[in-house]
Amino acid sequence: MAAVTLVELCAIDQKANLYAPRELLEARPAILSRLEPPVDHKRVQSSPLMSRSMYDRLIGARWDRDQSWALATQQSLVAPNGARWRLAGAFDGDFIGLTPAPLPLMSDVVSSAGDRPIGVRLLELGAVDYFVSLLPVQRPGLEHLAAIPSLYPDPIQLYRVAAALPRAYVVGRSRVVPAGEDPLRTLLDPSFDPHSEVLLAQGEAASAENFRGSARIVARSFRQVVIEVDTNAPGHLVLVETMVPGWRAWIDGVPARLLRANGTFRAVRVPAGVHRVEMAYRPVAVMWGAAISGSALLAALAWWVRERRILALR
């Protein structure tokens, strides 16, 4: 791994922005000052118009075309640029071919929605805080915040998603997707209320009358999140982060079943009362790999100690 990293740095990465001006590397998008603090983990969705098709339309370029394009994409927070300023991912598309279904399909729907309300519905479901576009949009549910000058012919338009769900929340009602049915059909159905119910890939439908509850993220890392929930009846905790194999859940230290929610997110059935829910990424393959690597290291250490003792006796 060290050798591969060295080759990567010396043979490939040195060619990336070899002569990029310092200002490009130090630039901070003006749009960040318009986001409600703290900026960390906010979700910003850029319109598909922020694409390579705008490459030849840049104005006021300071440097060569490629470097100016890099600055323009930073100004508009085109994915994955936002990660540089600790912004969370949204419906960014499938850059590496590893994004689990149906998230790429949801990204396509958001990109092609135009002024139709289904785009805003998915932004709300995905806990997306802000929407960025080069053209003014008239969509119910989007609150215009600012028009920011940029290297594009038109200013960058910033909108707040007014009814965006929080990153973690609790609901008292649940539906189960019948086998073979596309979950997007139900998610986009106006009768489905994502603020009070969740769509599950398995389990049992449930409904709690006069349900009340809250959820608060108290700790987070790249492979673990801890959430404190408080409900007056049994319900579901929903975490708006992608569900992939390897994630596990515990309630007050007791293993719990982790469910696929709203097509691609995570949910846990929680009992009434105050509870601490932990989700951690612990894929079996990685655990086996770590165990084998550890065993090999111990065997090598034992062999080395044995050889040293034999040499000492000689």
Q: What are the tokens at 268?
A: 């846990």
Q: How far apart are CA 152 and CA 164, in angstroms?
A: 28
Whether the ω angle into residue 80 lies within 30 degrees of 0, i.e. cis, is yes
pLDDT at 140: 87
Q: How far apart are CA 191 and CA 183, in angstroms?
A: 14
pLDDT at 14: 59
Are the C-beta atoms of residues 200 and 238 closer than 8 Å to each other?
A: no
Helix (H) or strand (E) holding 296: helix 284-313
Q: How far apart are CA 109 and CA 147, in angstroms?
A: 25
3-class SS at 103? helix
Look-up: residue for tokens 């050889």? 307
Q: How far apart are CA 261 and CA 177, in angstroms?
A: 10
Each of the 314 residues of the chain gets a pLDDT tens digit; together they read 888 888 877 776 655 656 678 888 888 999 999 999 988 889 999 886 655 566 677 776 677 778 888 888 888 898 888 999 999 988 888 777 777 778 888 888 887 776 677 889 999 999 999 999 888 888 889 999 999 998 888 899 999 999 999 999 999 999 998 877 888 888 989 899 999 999 999 888 889 989 999 999 999 998 999 999 999 999 999 999 999 899 999 999 999 999 999 999 999 999 999 999 999 999 866 555 666 777 778 777 877 777 777 777 76
Q: What are the tokens at 230?
A: 């408080």
> End-to-end CA distance of the chain, in Å?
37
pLDDT at 270: 97
pTM, 2 dp: 0.82
Phi, psi of 248, deg, nearest 5: -130, 160
3-class SS at 128? coil
pLDDT at 250: 98
Q: Which residues pair with 215 in a beta bridge?
A: 229
pLDDT at 193: 92
Closest-CA residue to 19 (of 69, 83, 74, 63): 63
Q: What are the tokens at 205?
A: 């439908």
Q: How far apart are CA 238 and CA 18, in angstroms?
A: 44
Alpha-carbon dihedral sign for residues 89, 94, 100, 104: positive
